[in-house]
Amino acid sequence: MASDDSTGGRMDGKVALITGGASGIGRACGLRFAAEGASIVVADLNPDRAANVVDEINELGRPAVAVAVDTSSQEQNDAMADAAVDAFGRIDACVAAAGISHAGYVSREIDDQAGNDRFDRGDMFFIEKSLESWQRVIDVNLTGVMLTNQAVARKMAEGGGGAIVNISSIAGTNVLKGSADYCVSKAGVWMLTRCAALELSRYGIRVNAVGPGYIQTSMSGAVLGNERWVAARERETPMGRLGVPDDIANACLYLCSDEASFVTGEIIFPDGGVMAAGR
């Protein structure tokens, strides 16, 4: 497919499936990939918000469909991959961005987050953490990514290859107090990425990860309204600011594009220098 004036062309003719695609990093990836010429499958637990993102993508002149999915379910991941192929014939790229910061997390708009961030949980600290809460975070953030990778890789293998990007975090390497479940899940995503990259290379499938730093998304929740918290995170970040979803989408775009055709099993940290500073 030839590029037109509305696209940059780095994803021309490609089909990209984005989980968690209705908000935050997932939404940014869908819009960014569409601007570069891709057709988009917006997969999310919230079908109404996914449909809104589809409308945004259509306004860019690109086709898109919304698919409802709970990524912690194997059956729903398989149905999601089937729906993508039914709509567009194949899957060329996938960003597994669906995730939660804690067991009670529900994605909302950034300005509607009161009481919805990890600092308000009753089981915040390790000794108080319930098995139910622990398991929910692992189910979504780690097992869900594995199931998405499996379902998408099967389709990519049939189609001759593709690129998968999994969203990890600086929390997969740096400990965040009160977030053992989240940190362990994101560390697992990084190791899962390496394992998948090794095993899927034979099918022409590349698998990489992106580890965001402190990003202004709905998952950051009410803390974005806490000036002391924001100032502390800005001081912790050598570049002196919080990131935005487009910072992550740009990294994902590179890893899914042909420019990264010899890159697999790697992780990029768009974090404003947090990892470089050893924090």
Q: Which residues are catalytic?
A: 182
**How far, in Å, CA of 249 to CA of 191, rounded?**
21
The helix (H) or strand (E) run that includes residue 186 is helix 180-200
Structure tokens at 110: 């950034």
| Lateral strand order in the sheet of 64-68 | 64-68, 39-44, 15-19, 93-96, 162-167, 205-210, 267-268
Give the span between the Cα atoms of 161 and 155, in whole angstroms.
9
Whole-angstrom distance between the N-terminal and C-terminal Cα of the chain?
45
Task: Report the alpha-carbon distance of residue 43 to residue 68 in Å, rounded.
Answer: 6
**Structural tokens at position 174:** 């740096």
Query: Which three-class secondary structure string do you get for 202-225?
Result: HHCEEEEEECCCCECCHHHHHHHH
Q: What is the DSSP letter of 239?
A: T
- Tabulate helix, strand, coil % of the chain (nearest 5): 50, 15, 40
CB 185 within 8 A of CB 134: no
Q: CA distances (Å), 237 to each of 12, 34, 118, 168, 190, in order?
A: 35, 30, 20, 18, 22
